[in-house]
Amino acid sequence: MGILEVKGVNKRFGGLQALGDVNLSVKENSVHAIIGPNGAGKSTLLNCLVGKLIPDTGSVMFDGQSVLGRAPYEINQMGISRVFQTPEIFGELSVMENMMIPCFAKRDGAFEMNAIGSVLSQKDIIVKAEEMLKDMNMADKRHMNAASLSRGDKRRLEIGMCLSQEPRLLLLDEPTAGMARADTNNTIDLLKQISDERDITIAIIEHDMHVVFSLADRITVLAQGTPLVEDEPQNIRGNPKVREAYLGESG
């Protein structure tokens, strides 16, 4: 029994069957990659996991509880954090403030009315945010405006923000899309380190085979909205069905 269990999920947009009978089981503390050609339904599947979309049929269970029908913030509070394809951070706020917000969300829950005390008096939050910035090698950038960070740093910040919530499952949507090779390798190293050092499950949607084969313990190949194969990386490489559907075109 995995920490995330997807069973018989269907999602239809008008005449398009985006997801057809998807079954997926993500084991606790593993790195699970979901790959597939464009339009295979990877993003639709991800959106069904975080509450942005509700599947037509099927079930999505996280740690024994259904996530269906819950708002994104409720699913996040259950322990699922999401990293977006384009980094979603608070651009107008400082790096430090960006890091403090998820710390507040972890400590105080979805809503807390603390309108009188100063942010600066929240010592535990400040300590935690500073530690996380140190872990992300961003301590020297704490006063910078988040919007002025480089693409790679924005990605690091977003991952750090997700981690400071101590999630049990971290979902990444093409985390290296549009990155230079050096930034991509840095991100791979960071994710490896996170997976080794922390008690965390990682599910990653990715286009870049280099990233997938460097990180994943297990790979699910999606094609036309249906899982084609699920296996370990070395078996995926040689699988003729996968070659035909996906790797065939890119080598």
Partner 1 sequence: MLGMNKNDTTMLLLVAALTMLAPFILNPFPTDSGLAQFNAGYPDLMQRFVIFGIFAIGFNILFGLTGYLSFGHAAFLGVGSYSAVWMFKLLAMNVIPAILLSVVMAGVFALLIGYVSLRRSGIYFSILTLAFAQMSFNLAYSVLTPITNGETGLQLSLDDPRVLGVSQTADGSIPVTNLFGLEMRSTFEMVVGPWAFQFNAGYYLCALILLAVFYLSIRIFRSPFGLMLKAVKSNQQRMNYTGLNTRPYTLAAFVISGMYAGLAGGLLASMDPLAGAERMQWTASGEVVLMTILGGAGTLIGPVLGAGFIKYFENIFSKINESVLHSWFGALPDGLEDLLVTMVYPFVGKGWHMTLGILFVLVVVFLPGGLVEGGQRVTAWIRSKKAGGNKPTSTTEPAE
Instruction: State the residues that interact with partner 1 by CB under 8 A.
Output: 50, 71-74, 76-77, 81-82, 84, 88-93, 97, 100-102, 104-106, 108-122, 125, 161, 165
Torsion of CA 90, 138, 191, 125, to 10 degrees: -60
Nearest to 35 by CA among 173, 150, 194, 179: 173
Helices (H), the chain: 42-50, 72-78, 95-108, 123-135, 151-163, 181-197, 209-215, 233-238, 240-242, 248-250
Cβ–Cβ under 8 Å, residues 106 and 196: no
Considering beta carbons, is residue 118 or 234 the nearer one to partner 1? 118
Smaller CB separation from partner 1, 41 or 87: 87
| CB of 110 or CB of 180, closer to partner 1 | 110
Q: Residue 127: which residues within 8 A CB-CB, separation 6 or more?
A: none
Q: Closer to partner 1 by CB, 167 or 227: give it.
A: 167
Q: How far is the CB of 37 from partner 1 (least distance, A)?
A: 26
> With respect to partner 1, which residue has the nearer C-beta, 62 or 246?
62
Minimum gap (Å) between residue 80 Cβ and partner 1: 9
Kindly state the smallest distance separating residue 198's Cβ from partner 1, in Å: 18
Residues near 68 by beta carbon (within 8 Å), at least 6 away in sequence: 54, 55, 59, 60
Tell me the closest approach of the beta carbon of residue 110 to partner 1, in angstroms. Answer: 4
Rounded to the nearest 5°, which phi and psi values hold at 227?
-65, 130
In terms of CB distance, is 132 or 228 closer to partner 1? Answer: 132
Q: Measured between alpha carbons, how far is 155 from 180 in angstroms, rounded to an integer?
A: 13
CB of 4 to partner 1, least distance (A): 16
Q: How far is the CB of 245 from partner 1 (least distance, A)?
A: 31
